[in-house]
């Protein structure tokens, strides 16, 4: 049973949302739009002896040792997968591609939702399931004002997820920008299927640097992708990183040429280091990464 919990299948990718989650989403959106929480209904008094809620921590303590160890191990794995969530949403709020960021975030979160339910970590499941529902709702939003609201909703909800799962990550908009550009490259690969791409990002990829340092065998084990296709991803990674380097060099030359000769070295330095927006050639110059690396 333990090994089955870590196997990702297509049943985990369903976009159907339960009615109770939709009701919670309506409530969250109402709070985001109004900016204040209004409670006009009278408080309901409950008999504490009649209603007893058990946290996941208490549940873990009261289960048998084998189940406890399995759940504890799974939670540690879940934390590793979800670690990039904070930097994804931070870059999303700061203006990175709306659709691509949501897609990458949803691919990371969705498999964990099903797995948390299987291991009976109810509290973790409900919180992450609600966050996933918000991601899906944001993906369906077409109105610019509605997208702005969803950014605020997801920012708040992601903070709650980070706190509840005790996630620790350092934000990097540049890392997310480059990762989104690489995702676009994978999406149009003739070799990789949509399921391959979903499985790849379900690992929780924080950056291209992390990807470069991770061994092929580990990537295959974490994602369930064959070694042959991992090799394809590895080749695409190398080509894409070469294109990023070329874009940096091009932009550096452009900046250097734009600086008047009579400017001080300090002012020149301040211009040269401000390159946060030019690391992805697809964003900066509308250059095809593969064609760029072949030239």
Regarding whether 259 and 225 lie in a shared domain, the answer is: yes
Residues 166 and 259 in one domain: no
155 and 177: one domain? no
* 267 and 234 fall within a common domain: yes
Q: C-alpha distances in angstroms, 53 versus 12, 49, 59?
A: 27, 10, 10
| Rg of the chain (C-alpha set) | 22
First to last CA, the chain: 51
Query: Which residues lie closer than 8 Å to 284 by C-beta, 6 or more apart?
Result: 247, 251, 277, 278
Domain count, the chain: 2
Q: Tokens 């969530």, residue?
A: 85
Q: What is the pLDDT of residue 25?
A: 72
Structure tokens at 154: 């997801």
pLDDT at 283: 39
Tell whether 78 and 177 lie within a shared domain.
no
Whose structure tokens read 């900046």? 255
Q: Are residues 19 and 116 in the same domain?
A: yes
Domain boundary among 137, 153, 171: 171
State whether 134 and 34 are in the same domain.
yes
Query: Tokens in use for 67?
Result: 């189940």
- Are 1 and 90 within one domain? yes
77: burial class by Cβ within 10 Å (0-12, 13-18, 19+)? Answer: middle
Domain co-membership, 194 together with 269: yes
* Domain finish residue from 145, 171, 197: 171
Query: In terms of domains, do 32 and 7 share one?
Result: yes
For residue 18, the model assigns a pLDDT of 66
Both tokens of 35, joined, read: 């900016």
Cα–Cα distance for residue pair 75/69, rounded to 1 Å: 10
Burial of 121: CB neighbours in 10 Å, binned 0-12, 13-18, 19+: buried
CA distance 184 to 172: 19
Give pLDDT < 50 ranges for the chain. Answer: 1-3, 5-8, 10-14, 36-44, 46, 48, 50-51, 265-295
Give me the domain span that covers residue 201.
173-295
Sequence-separated (6 or more) residues with CB below 8 Å from residue 212: 237, 241
The candidate with the shortest Cα–Cα distance to 164, out of 153, 173, 172, 156, is 156
pLDDT for res 101? 98
Q: Within a 10 A sphere around the Cβ of 11, how many other Cβ atoms?
A: 7
Tell which of 107, 137, 171 closes a domain: 171
* 101 in the same domain as 33: yes
The answer to whether residues 269 and 192 belong to one domain is yes
């Amino acid at each position: 049973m333990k090994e089955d919990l870590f196997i990702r299948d297509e049943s985990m990718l369903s976009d159907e949302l339960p009615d109770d989650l939709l009701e919670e989403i309506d409530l969250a959106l109402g709070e985001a739009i109004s900016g204040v929480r209004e409670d006009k209904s009278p408080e309901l008094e409950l008999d504490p002896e009649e209603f007893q809620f058990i946290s996941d921590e208490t549940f873990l303590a009261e289960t048998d040792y084998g189940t406890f160890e399995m759940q504890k191990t799974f939670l540690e794995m879940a934390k590793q997968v979800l670690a990039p969530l904070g930097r994804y949403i931070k870059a999303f709020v700061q203006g990175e591609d709306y659709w691509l960021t949501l897609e990458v975030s949803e691919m990371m979160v969705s498999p964990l939702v099903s797995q948390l339910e299987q291991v009976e970590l109810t509290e973790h499941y409900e919180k992450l399931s609600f966050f996933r529902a918000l991601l899906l709702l944001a993906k369906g939003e077409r109105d610019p004002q509605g997208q702005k609201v969803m950014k605020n909703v997801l920012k708040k909800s992601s903070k709650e997820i980070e706190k509840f799962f005790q996630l620790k990550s350092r934000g990097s908009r540049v890392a997310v920008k480059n990762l989104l550009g690489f995702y676009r490259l994978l999406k149009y690969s003739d070799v990789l299927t949509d399921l391959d791409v979903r499985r790849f990002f379900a690992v929780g990829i924080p950056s291209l640097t992390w990807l470069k340092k991770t061994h092929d065998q580990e990537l295959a084990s974490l994602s369930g992708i064959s070694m042959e296709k991992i090799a394809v991803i590895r080749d695409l990674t190398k080509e894409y990183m070469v294109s990023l380097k070329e874009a940096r060099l091009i932009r550096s030359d452009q900046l250097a040429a734009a600086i008047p000769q009579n400017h001080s070295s300090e002012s020149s330095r301040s211009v040269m280091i401000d390159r946060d927006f030019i690391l992805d050639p697809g964003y900066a110059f509308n250059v095809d990464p593969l064609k760029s690396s072949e030239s």
